[in-house]
Structure formats: C-alpha cells, structure tokens
Amino acid sequence: MKDLSGYIFVRLRFVRLLVYSFFCSAWVKLLLNLRGIKAGKKLRFYGIPVAIRMVDSKIEIGNGCSFRSDFTSNLVGVNRKCIITTLRRKAEIKIGNNSGFSGTVIAAAGSIKIGDRVLCGANTTITDYDWHGIEPDKRNISAEPKPVVIEDNVWLGLNTVVLKGVTIGKNSVIGANSVVVKDIPENVIAAGNPCRVIKQFQLSKPGK
C-alpha cells in the first residue's frame, strides 16, 4: 500500500466517530424520552444537540435519522449544534425517516413537517416564525407563524435558510446560501436570495 499513513488515519477517524456516535446516541435518546420527544429507531447522534419542547407541543423524529452537532463530524464545517425546538403550545415538529441534519436549527411556533430522506447541509435553518413583528412599532410583539413543509428527498445546501409559509416539493435541491421565502415546486434545482428555480430535473421514465 502506497499511502499507509493516510489509510490508518482514515480508519482511526472512522472508528472514533463510530464509538463517539454510540455513546452520544445512547445519552441523547434518554434525554429525548425524558423531555417527551417521540424518537424513532436507529437514530444516530454525533455530539449532543439542543432539544426543547414547549408544554403541550409535539416533536416527532422518525427512524434512521442522523444529527451532527460536532464540528469534526462533517468536514464541510459545522458551526453549531443541531437545535430542535417548539416555541408555543400546540406547535409541532414532525421529521420523517432517514433524514440527515448537520448543525441544523428547526424552530416551530406553529408547524414544521419534514419528509423522508431529507438532507440538510451544514448550518441550515428552518423556521415557521419571524420571531418579531415586522412593523417598527410591533418589534416586541410576537408574530404569527405560517406552516413549513419540506417534502420527501429534498436536499438543502450549506447555510440555507427556509422561512415561514414555505413548501418545498419532493426531490428538489436548494443551492448553498439560499434564502427560501416562497414555495419551490418538486423536481427542480433552486438557489439564490430570494431563492428561485434555475433548472428542472429531467427524470428518467420507469424501466429506463
């Protein structure tokens, strides 16, 4: 083998992350249960996320999801922990199966629904809430949320921000550093601030 040192380093990193994830996952699953958060099977946690559930609200996480809150676990650069929080009574966050999150913030005052196999790149933010009123005389008054829906198989690129009232259709890709303020249809690539469609996927027909 020409690059023995490189091979050894990569294998040691893999083993370290495997062991690290095992202990983090066991601890986080206990914390989620204690906080009344419904957690599915085969979840993987790299580092300890922040999970806060408001009284009379719901957070549900499907099977096979992964959460990377440690900066060494995603080499593109995770700048913060994953944060999952409901902000008001009756708020809900529902995450489907086999989705992945790296330093992702998910904050719901109303409703955020994330489908299956959704990939959230490093330092993405998803919120259904403006946090403060828009008008100058209403900055200290809570704004009203609008539901966010991210359908199956969506990929949010690095540093993407998804704001209130947005639906992103299945299979679509959102480019890095985008700010999504309007609905994005399914099967497209979209990017920018504000985010807009730049390309339609040419999907192959069944059997081809």
Residue numbers annotated as active site: 132
Least Cα distance to 70 among 80, 62, 61, 60 occurs for 80
d(CA 140, CA 130): 11
Q: Please count the residues of the chain.
A: 208
Phi and psi based region of residue 192 (left: phi greater than 0; alpha: psi -120 to 50; beta: remaining): left
Least Cα distance to 54 among 107, 102, 13, 10 occurs for 107
Strand ranges of the sheet holding 44-46, from the earlier edge strand across to the other edge: 44-46, 66-68, 100-102, 119-120, 155-156, 173-174, 188-191, 196-200
- Listed in order, strand segments (DSSP E) in 92-133 are 92-95, 100-102, 105-108, 111-114, 119-120, 125-127
Q: What are phi and psi of 57, to 5 degrees?
A: -120, 170
Helix (H) or strand (E) holding 24: helix 4-34
Angstrom CA distances, 153 to 55, 60, 89, 120, stand at 31, 18, 29, 10
